[in-house]
Amino acid sequence: MTTPELVRRPSRSASPWTFRTLLILLVLDLTYLVNAMDRQVFAVLLPDIKQTYLLTGTQAGTLSTIFTLGMGLAGIPAGYLADRIGRKRVIVASLLLFSITCALQATAHGLVDLTAWRILSGVGEGAQNAALYAAVGAYFHRNRAVAIGSINAAFGLGAFAGPLWGGALLSSTGNWRVPLLVFGGLGLVILVVMVCTVPRSVTEAGRQEETRSASVPGSEVRFFNRRVVCCTIATVAAGFAIYGYLGLYPTYLRDAHGYSGSQISVAAGMFGLGALTSVFCGMFADRLDQRLVNVAGFAAIAACGAGIFAFADAYPAQLVLSLVLGIAFTGIVYTNTNALMQRSVPGSKAGRASGLFVAAMYLPASVSGYFFAAVKSGLGWHTAGVLQLCAIPAVGLIAMAAMGKPRD
């Protein structure tokens, strides 16, 4: 059987890196930037939300990551719909959903409806992920990891700005609901811009490839091939490790180190700043053995986890480690694994590959906050943190070892 990388793909008319296509990519990046702001601000607001609703530590931990349940459940259906009815339609619908439900979280009367809005916002974000990554990966297929890296860099900027802006709004108003309302409204503005500026010829590139390539001898590639399975396992490990950590890192800094709200916002935002390296990391991923790139990423995650929870007591050390962790996860593992999974299937199934990536990343992540909080309750912050960020990423290293080298 011919490996996916060696299948001759039909030529496409897309011409990446013109002013027009770069402008379109910028708009698509902005849609993900507001996604990141909506997502990351919640961790900064969580201590006040916990106090408002008198939540236990386990309830707060679950609430911090429960949105990933919606993301994971939406991934595979959204990927299929993106391939069938069009990626732009799915992106528009998902932007509308997560913007509205972000704002509705501010209207919650209790834990039940707040949880429901969190899950539904995750559905919107997961659907956007599947369609957006498929659209960008297919259109910029010659430089897929770089283009996907730009999306992740936009996420990093939003993840950095979201906690800072959200923390500033919280400090100035004294009301945790205000940031959620503001960010929800911003998402609707970006939605209008995207509808008016991004043509379907960009978002739907490669969707008709399957019919044309079916006649090429040896071009049939199973969707669930060995490379896809190994990528899926690595994605599960990365998502479970990181999102449990992200949901409770601000609480850890306050409880274990006694940092102020502004210090916590900066430290949490450094993770997102690290993701700004995604474009640079994507350049390497497009040119090197992507398995080895992932090995470096998972090893760096484990090293940062040991530093954050076992060795780094000083605030500057926490800032540096949070930054490097953002580079290792978003810049390397997230960008590289997403591109590698798309490269392992025919272009016409890019949406389904992207949807599988989203499901593998966020379904396990939905219970990772509960797991981290439960282990912390029994063993303390340091042991729980080392287990979360050192032991679990080892599964990703095993998956990369099992993948094997691509055949030349």
**CATH for 186:** 1.20.1250.20
Asked whether residue 9 is domain-assigned, the answer is no
Reported as a single tens digit per residue, the pLDDT across 351-398 is 788 888 888 988 888 788 788 888 888 888 888 888 999 999 999 999
The pLDDT assigned to 343 comes to 80
Cα–Cα dist 128/162, whole Å: 18
Range of the domain at 381: 17-206+221-403
Please check the confidence at residue 4 and state whether its pLDDT lies above 50: no
Burial class, 94, CB count within 10 angstroms (exposed 0-12 / middle 13-18 / buried 19+): buried
327 phi and psi angles, rounded to 5 deg: -65, -45
Rg of the Cα trace of the chain?
20
Mean pLDDT, all residues of the chain: 82
pLDDT score, position 389: 92
**pLDDT tier for residue 347 given thresholds of 50, 70 and 90:** low
Residue 152 lies in a domain: yes
Cα(365)–Cα(288) distance, rounded to whole angstroms?
29
Q: What's the pLDDT band for 185 if we cut at 50, 70, 90?
A: very high
Q: Would you state the pLDDT for residue 67?
A: 84
Residue 213 belongs to a domain: no
Q: pLDDT tens digits, residue range 33-63?
A: 888 888 778 878 888 898 888 888 778 877 8
The H or E element containing residue 233 is: helix 226-257
* Mean pLDDT score, 285-304: 86
Q: Mean pLDDT throughout 114-120?
A: 92
Domain assignment of residue 168, yes or no: yes
> Who's near 86: CB < 8 A, 6+ residues apart?
200, 203, 204, 207
pLDDT of residue 206: 67
Helix axes 144-173, 261-274, angle to 10 degrees: 170
Within a domain: 288: yes
Q: Which of residues 188 and 219 earns the better pLDDT score? A: 188
- Residue 6 confidence (pLDDT) above 70: no
Give, to the nearest 10 degrees, the angle between helix 19-53 and helix 144-173.
40
Residue-level pLDDT at 220: 53
Indicate whether 212 pLDDT > 80.
no
Q: Is 7 inside a domain boundary?
A: no
* Residue 12 pLDDT exceeds 70: no
Say if CB 41 and CB 379 are below 8 A apart: no
Look at residue 280 and tell me if it is in a domain.
yes
pLDDT for 254-285, tens place per residue?
Answer: 888 888 877 887 888 788 778 778 877 777 77
- 3 domain residue, yes or no: no
- Is 0.85 surpassed by the pTM of this model? no
**How many structural domains compose the chain?**
1
Furthest-apart CA pair in the chain: how many Å?
Answer: 65
Nearest to 247 by CA among 114, 44, 65: 65
Q: What is the C-alpha separation between 319 and 16, in angstroms, rounded?
A: 36
At residue 256, φ and ψ (nearest 5 deg) are: -85, -30
Q: Residue 99 pLDDT more than 70?
A: yes
